[in-house]
Amino acid sequence: MKHLRAVNKKARRIEHMDPAIRPQSERHSDDDVVALQNQPNQAPPPRPHVPMGCALAFSPGWEVDSSGGTAGLCQPVERDIYDCYVTCFWPAQVPDHLNNYPDWAGKCAAATKDWRNLDLVFP
Amino acid sequence: MSAGAAYRLGEFHSFEGGGRKFLYVVPAGAIFEIDSDAAAVVGELAGKRATREELVAGLMQRDFAYNDAAELIDELAQVRAIVPVHAETEPLEPPPPDFPMQSLVMNLTNQCNLSCQYCYEFGEDKVATPDGKPKFMDIETAKGSVNFLLENSSGRRAVHITFFGGETLMNFPLLKRVVTYANARAAAKSRSIDFSLTTNATLLTPAIIEFLSENRIGVTVSMDGPPDLHNKLRVFANGRGSYDVIEPRVKALIHGHRTRPITARVTLTNGVTDVVRIYRHLKDDLGFHEVGFAPVTTSPDRLYAINEPGMNGVLEQFHILAGEYLEYALRGEMHGFTNVSDTIAELYQGVNKSHPCGAGLGLMGVGPSGDIAPCHRFVDSDTHAMGNIATGVDRAKQTDFLQRGHINNKYECHTCWARPLCAGGCHHEAFVRYGDTGHPNLHYCDWIRDWTDTCLRIFGTISAENPEFLEKFAERKAL
């Protein structure tokens, strides 16, 4: 090293350490999240940012289509609202339809067309 | 590292010595001298973040060629003076379960002919519960202890036994037999054992001194300074000071024991804080090779406890002796102030401790009953016993002790730059102060940081002006 001088034994060990050996937390430090099928040294192919689904369950085709967009979803993107509202046990930021806002979605017959009719609630 | 990564400063403590600048890189315990260019990069990045390209561009504005600038940045990154912004400090690993022993402290007796008020074995803050236990170790327990050490230290050629008490020399007949037995056992296994002894010096005789010298047994004398200071607390049961009894014996020891250095170990208490005067007396008047100081371990409300202004006064006097130490070192001479030597020895290695000391790990204590303790300070304590020589180490208790004491579990320490050396401080001190061996010793953090910084500056100055001197520490182990 030209600008630094190791003055104790530990410093000399660091000086001669293979620079490729880096702590786990510093590897891929500026890469995006990499799925498990990508090998550590294999650069991921360039493509749109793809979220990996709900925190609790992965529903393929639900959030993105095969190209990473939303045009070819097997369910409408508005289905999101009802996945949290009706079918999921996990409390989400949708109105409480059991006690306080039973008619919240009353004017929304088909979510893809009528989602604008969902009521606003002010708890 | 690809192009876009942003850097921030790593975790280090910067200091100067001999007109040079240094970084003490905390997660490793490494010390690097840095030149003015590197110091400028570090200075500019303080409190900020910047990409590699930005750092390189900054240097190129200062007439660096691209390659030279990149090399400097990469050097700083290699030693982790600068790190990617989201780099994390990795937790230290626990020691391996089969960590080999290095030292055994044998408390040959728990009896003592002095009644020093601050004694951690008999004083008001004692942890020992000796009732109903043997007062003197017998030969069978002693032999078992030697075998225990040899069996639990595989892979180490040389191991160490420290004889301790009580007053160790009250059981000198056993000490002699242990030395003979241990040497024979070690030789049979092509290994070696060396010995040391801590004593209050009251019972030293010419015959004992001759034995200690012939067998190369290192001796530490517990002694608190000139008569007016020593006699304050180091007294016989009738209150009479012990100075006059030990002075001729200490002189005879230093004169007659030629094979190992003789050291003094001073306990500082309220009113016994005149470090420089104590050092002069023990080193110059009596002739000890080295003198080490430690503030008494005590609850804060004891009369002999040193209060904060008192501790600051101690630190000022430590600085005076540290300055002397540096002058000696630059001339290539060894000064006798142990507290600096011990710290320099650890800085030389670049230790990065998971635990403050080897207690319960490479070092254990054994009492007259054969009970195993984490160290001599916990001997004879039922609460802290970790098995018995006859039955082996109680691994569950040992694991509990080591987990409590591990630096990963001392959250207050995680932002402290002095943790590679301190690791939270003495387990016994923590128990007396906080009731938990794993509690960080928060009452002396500022003190430790000041002292570590002082020793770093000494280390830096020596490395700049007389680096050969540091090679003396290649073999030294701090006790």
Question: Is pLDDT of B202 > 80?
Answer: yes
B136/B155 Cα distance (integer angstroms): 32
B177/B107 Cα distance (integer angstroms): 15
The per-residue pLDDT for range B428-446, each reduced to its tens digit, is: 999 999 999 999 999 999 9
Q: pTM value?
A: 0.81
Banded model confidence at residue A59, pLDDT cuts 50, 70, 90? low
Interface of B with A in 86-115 (CB under 8 A): 86-88, 90
Of B9, B31, B8, whose CA–CA distance to B452 is shortest? Answer: B31
Average pLDDT for residues B193-220, to the nearest whole number?
A: 97
Nearest neighbour of A11 by CB, restricted to B2, B5, B350: B350
Task: Determine which of A25-39, B40-54, B125-139 has the lowest per-residue pLDDT on average.
Answer: A25-39
Task: Strands of B129-217 (E only): list them.
Answer: 158-164, 192-199
In the Cβ-directed half-sphere of B84, how many Cα atoms lie within 13 Å? 18
CB-based contact B263:B289 (threshold 8 Å)? yes
Sheet hosting strand B158-164, strand order edge to edge:
B290-295, B262-268, B218-222, B192-199, B158-164, B103-107, B363-366, B372-373
Question: Is pLDDT of A24 > 60?
Answer: no
Sign of the CA dihedral with B373 first, then B378, B381, and B383 last: negative
CB-based contact B208:B172 (threshold 8 Å)? yes
**Vertex B55 angle, CA B51 and B59, to 5°:** 165
Do B28 and A10 count as a contact with CB atoms less than 8 A apart?
yes
Do A7 and B33 count as a contact with CB atoms less than 8 A apart?
yes
Residue B61 three-state SS:
coil
Give chain B positions within 8 Å (CB) of A8: 29-31, 347-350, 459
A118/B14 Cα distance (integer angstroms): 60
Q: Tokens at residue B69, please? A: 């600038």
The pLDDT, as a whole number, for residue B123 is 85
Looking at every residue in chain B, the average pLDDT score rounds to 94
Task: Strands of B12-139 (E only): list them.
Answer: 12-17, 20-25, 30-34, 50-51, 82-84, 103-107
The pLDDT, as a whole number, for residue B28 is 93
Burial of B84 (0-12, 13-18, 19+ CB in 10 A): buried
ipTM score over 0.90, yes or no: no
Give chain A positions within 8 Å (CB) of B75: 1-4
The pLDDT, as a whole number, for residue A19 is 66
CB-based contact A52:A58 (threshold 8 Å)? yes
Burial of A100 (0-12, 13-18, 19+ CB in 10 A): exposed
B210/B219 Cα distance (integer angstroms): 12
The per-residue pLDDT for range B400-413, each reduced to its tens digit, is: 999 999 999 999 99
B145/B137 Cα distance (integer angstroms): 10
Banded model confidence at residue B479, pLDDT cuts 50, 70, 90? very low
Long-range contacts, A31-34 (Cβ 8 Å, 24+):
A31/B2
Do B79 and A3 count as a contact with CB atoms less than 8 A apart?
no
A vs B, Cβ pairs < 8 A, gives 98
Question: Is pLDDT of B256 > 90?
Answer: yes
Asked whether the bond before B58 is cis by omega within 30 degrees of 0, the reply is no
Give chain B positions within 8 Å (CB) of A19: 74, 78
Q: Could you tell me the residue ranges of all domains in chain B?
A: 6-84, 103-393
Q: How far is B62 from chain A (nearest CA, A)?
A: 16
CATH for B6-84, among 3.40.50, 3.30.160, 3.90.930, 1.25.10?
Answer: 3.90.930
CATH number of B103-393: 3.20.20.70
Phi and psi, residue B132, nearest 5°: 80, 0
Question: Is pLDDT of B470 > 80?
Answer: yes
The pLDDT, as a whole number, for residue A32 is 42
Cβ-based interface (< 8 Å): residues of A facing B: 1-11, 13-15, 17, 19, 23-26, 29-31
Banded model confidence at residue A2, pLDDT cuts 50, 70, 90? very high
Do B30 and A10 count as a contact with CB atoms less than 8 A apart?
yes
Average pLDDT for residues A86-94, to the nearest whole number?
A: 61
The per-residue pLDDT for range B230-248, each reduced to its tens digit, is: 999 999 999 999 999 999 9
The pLDDT, as a whole number, for residue B377 is 95
One-letter identity of residue B426: C
Per the model's pLDDT, the better-predicted residue between A37 and B153 turns out to be B153
Question: Is pLDDT of B3 > 50?
Answer: no
The per-residue pLDDT for range B11-49, each reduced to its tens digit, is: 999 999 999 999 999 999 999 999 999 999 999 999 999
CB-based contact B256:B229 (threshold 8 Å)? no
Question: Is pLDDT of A44 > 60?
Answer: no
Q: Could you tell me the residue ranges of all domains in chain A?
A: 32-75, 79-117
The pLDDT, as a whole number, for residue B89 is 80
Do B78 and A3 count as a contact with CB atoms less than 8 A apart?
no
